Amino acid sequence: MSGGRPSPAALASVALLAALALLPLLIPPFWTANIFGRAFVYGIVAMSLTFLATYGGFVSLAQTMMGGVAGYVAAVLVPDSVPSLVGGVPYAAAIPVALLAATASGLLVGAVAVRTQGIYLLMITLALAVGFHLFAQANIAWFNGYEGIRNVVGPEVFGLPFRNTFVFYYAALGSAALLYALVLYVVRTPFGLVLQGIRDNPRRVSALGYDAALHRIAAFGLAGFIAGCGGLLVTFYNIGISPGSIGLGPTVNVLVMCVIGGLGHPIGAFVGALVFTLFDTFAADIYDRDRFNTLVGAVFLLIVLVSPDGVLGLAKRAVAPLRGRRRVGPAAGAAPNTGAPLAAEE
Amino acid sequence: MAGAEPAALRLEGVGRRFGALAAVGDVSLEVARGERRAVLGPNGAGKTTLFNLVCGDFPPTAGRVVLFGEDITRLKPHHRTRRGVGRTYQNSLLFNGLSVADNLVVAVRGAKPGRFGLRLPAAADRAAARRLAEAVRLSHLLGAEVSSLSHGQRRQLEVGMALACEPRLLMLDEPAAGLSPAERPELVKLLRALPRELTLLVIEHDMDVALPLADVVTVMKDGDVVVEGPPGRIEGDPVVQAIYLGHHGRAH
Ligand SMILES: Nc1ncnc2c1ncn2[C@@H]1O[C@H](COP(=O)(O)OP(=O)(O)OP(=O)(O)O)[C@@H](O)[C@H]1O
Ligand SMILES: [Mg+2]
What 3-state DSSP class applies to A93? helix
Lowest-pLDDT range of A40-44, A196-200, A213-217, A316-320: A316-320
The pLDDT value given to residue A337? 35
Q: Do A338 and B110 touch (CB under 8 A)?
A: no
- Residue A159 burial (CB < 10 Å; 0-12/13-18/19+)? exposed
The pLDDT value given to residue A338? 33
pLDDT-derived band at A1 (thresholds 50, 70, 90) equals very low
The pLDDT value given to residue A124? 97
Whole-number Å distance, alpha carbon B21 to ligand 1 midpoint, is: 10
Is the pLDDT reported for residue A100 higher than 50? Answer: yes
What average pLDDT does range A288-306 have in this prediction? 77
Which residues from chain A sit within 8 angstroms of residue B94, using beta carbons? 200-201, 204
The pLDDT value given to residue A283? 77
Q: Do B87 and A208 touch (CB under 8 A)?
A: no
**Ligand in closest contact with the CA of B54:** 1
**Is residue B101 domain-resident?**
yes
The pLDDT value given to residue A250? 94
Mean pLDDT of successive 10-residue stretches along chain B, which has 252 residues: 78 96 95 95 94 96 96 96 94 95 94 75 89 93 95 92 94 89 82 90 86 91 93 84 61 40
The total domain count for chain B is 1
DSSP string, chain B: -TTPPPPSEEEEEEEEEETTEEEEEEEEEEE-TT-EEEEE--TTSSHHHHHHHHHTSS--SEEEEEETTEE-TT--HHHHHHTTEEE--SS----TTSBHHHHHHHHHHHTSS-TT--SPPPHHHHHHHHHHHHHTT-GGGTTSBGGGS-HHHHHHHHHHHHHHT--SEEEEESTTTT--TTHHHHHHHHHHTS-TTSEEEEE-S-HHHHHHH-SEEEEEETTEEEEEE-HHHHHH-HHHHHHHHHHHHHH-
Is residue B49 in contact with ligand 1, taking CB distance under 6 Å?
yes
Is the pLDDT reported for residue A307 higher than 90? Answer: no
Between CA A194 and CA B228 the distance in angstroms is 40
Of B137, B141, B144, B178, residue with least CA distance to B160: B137
Are A242 and A64 contacting, i.e. CB atoms less than 8 angstroms apart?
no
Buried residues in B15-30 as b, exposed as e (16+ CB within 10 A): bbeeeeebbbbebebb
Is residue B88 in contact with ligand 1, taking CB distance under 6 Å?
no
pLDDT-derived band at A300 (thresholds 50, 70, 90) equals confident
**Is residue B120 domain-resident?**
yes
Are B12 and B60 contacting, i.e. CB atoms less than 8 angstroms apart?
no
The pLDDT value given to residue A314? 86
Q: Do B55 and A207 touch (CB under 8 A)?
A: yes
pLDDT-derived band at A81 (thresholds 50, 70, 90) equals very high
pLDDT-derived band at A315 (thresholds 50, 70, 90) equals confident
Is residue B41 in contact with ligand 1, taking CB distance under 6 Å?
yes
Residue of chain B nearest A218, judged by CA positions: B116
The answer to whether the peptide bond before residue A83 is cis (omega within 30 degrees of 0) is yes
Locate the ligand 1 atom nearest the alpha carbon of residue B223 and give its number: 14
Give the closest residue (by CA) to ligand 1 atom 6.
B18
Q: State the number of CA atoms in the 13 A half-sphere of B36 facing the CB.
A: 17
Are B64 and B71 contacting, i.e. CB atoms less than 8 angstroms apart?
yes
Which residues from chain B sit within 8 angstroms of residue A186, using beta carbons? 118
The pLDDT value given to residue B53? 97
pLDDT-derived band at A331 (thresholds 50, 70, 90) equals very low
**Is residue B1 domain-resident?**
no
Which residues from chain B sit within 8 angstroms of residue A201, using beta carbons? 93-96
More confident residue, A331 or B240: B240
Give the closest residue (by CA) to ligand 1 atom 7.
B18
- Write out pLDDT tens, residues A105-121: 999 999 999 999 999 99
The pLDDT value given to residue B3? 56
Is residue B170 in contact with ligand 1, taking CB distance under 6 Å?
no
Is the pLDDT reported for residue A321 higher than 80? Answer: no
% chain A with pLDDT above 90: 75
**Is residue B129 domain-resident?**
yes
Which residues from chain A sit within 8 angstroms of residue B115, using beta carbons? 190, 194, 209-211, 215
Domain residue spans of chain A: 28-244
What average pLDDT does range A89-108 have in this prediction? 97
Is residue B221 in contact with ligand 1, taking CB distance under 6 Å?
no
Q: Which of B95, B123, B178 lies at the smallest CB-CB distance from A341? A: B178
The pLDDT value given to residue A34? 96
Between CA A83 and CA A29 the distance in angstroms is 30
Are B205 and B40 contacting, i.e. CB atoms less than 8 angstroms apart?
yes
Which of B98, B116, B205, B250 is the best mutation test for A, with the most CBs of A within 10 A?
B116
The pLDDT value given to residue A16? 95
Q: Nearest CA of chain B to the CA of A7: how many Å?
A: 15
Between CA B241 and CA B238 the distance in angstroms is 5
The pLDDT value given to residue B188? 82
Which residues from chain A sit within 8 angstroms of residue B143, using beta carbons? none
Are A297 and A82 contacting, i.e. CB atoms less than 8 angstroms apart?
no
Q: What range does the domain containing B111 cover?
A: 94-166
What average pLDDT does range A272-294 have in this prediction? 80
Is the pLDDT reported for residue A146 higher than 90? Answer: yes
What 3-state DSSP class applies to A160? strand
Of A318, A280, A320, residue with least CA distance to A300: A280
Locate the ligand 1 atom nearest the alpha carbon of residue B49 and give its number: 18
Q: State the number of CA atoms in the 13 A half-sphere of A235 facing the CB.
A: 36
What average pLDDT does range A143-149 have in this prediction? 95
Q: Nearest CA of chain B to the CA of A230: how many Å?
A: 22
Which of A194, A204, A210 is the best mutation test for B, with the most CBs of B within 10 A?
A204
Are A117 and A216 contacting, i.e. CB atoms less than 8 angstroms apart?
no
Pairing between strand B62-67 and B36-40? unpaired
Q: Which of B77, B117, B151 lies at the smallest CB-CB distance from A189? A: B117
- Write out pLDDT tens, residues A177-194: 999 999 999 999 999 999
Model pTM above 0.80: yes
Which range of A1-5, A84-88, B52-56 scores highest in mean pLDDT? It is: B52-56
The pLDDT value given to residue B238? 85
Whole-number Å distance, alpha carbon B207 to ligand 2 midpoint, is: 15
Are B204 and B40 contacting, i.e. CB atoms less than 8 angstroms apart?
yes
Is the pLDDT reported for residue A248 higher than 90? Answer: yes
